[in-house]
Copies of this chain bind each other. A is one copy, B any other.
Amino acid sequence: MATQASDPVRRRRHGKQLESALLAAGWDELLEVGYARLTMESVAVRARTSEPVLYRRWANKDQLVLAAFEHHRTANPITIPDTGALRGDLLALLTALSEALAGFYAIATAAAFSGLLADTGLTPSQVRDSVMDAQQLPRVRALYQRAHDRGEIDLERIPTAVLELPFDLVRHDMLMDLRPVKPARIRSIVDELVLPLVQSHQAR
């Protein structure tokens, strides 16, 4: 009777491994119930730990949520494709963005609206820039630059509004539907909107 056979081995996580689990739990909680209904206790329970473990790392709920965003973003990097053609690149990138970020945008905007940023005074667009596009923008630019170098497009003649159009629309659709954009819609954006516009501005 010295050792209880029914007692499960109680392993304790430490350091980075634990922190990663905490942030993942925070992210899942955001996805499942949203910022407004996420509580420190619900995150702790989901991570199979207790609240002080959270408070030892983050001073308050907002800090935890922001850290969960950052963690999820860096843990799920988006690779910019190189298919050799503008159309293929756009289709691949929009699809990747859509799949990776549908939840992300929804959650981030939700949190922003719910009061997360009321203190910091950031607007959703600043969130978009700082959390999402700041890293993505130069890489997107590179995608277009490659098309330019191949002679597919003339970057000089194409308005910024055209270049940003597909990303604006995908972001819009993700916000509206809270799920990845349908492949057919992505093809429509590329084939019925972006490519005709590129052609149109090329011609004159």
Contacts and interface: CB of A to CB of B under 8 A. Distances in A.
Interface in A165-190: 165, 168-169, 171-173, 175-178, 185, 188-189
Interface string A96-118: 00000000001001110111001
A141 interface: no
Contacts of A165: 169, 193
Given A161-B192, A169-B169, A200-B200, A178 B124 contact: yes
Interface residues of A, number: 40
Interface stretch (A14-22, A33-41, A57-65): A33-41
Given A197-B200, A199-B200, A176 B128 contact: yes
A84 interface: no
Contact of A172 (B37, B172, B192): B172
Contacts of A168: 169, 172-173
A125 B106 CA distance: 12
A35 to B, nearest CB: 7
A175 B37 contact: no
Nearest to A125: B176
A180 B115 CA distance: 21
B161 A188 contact: yes
B188 A124 contact: no
Which of A173, A193, A201 has the most chain B CB atoms closer than 10 A to its own CB? A193
A57 B176 CA distance: 31
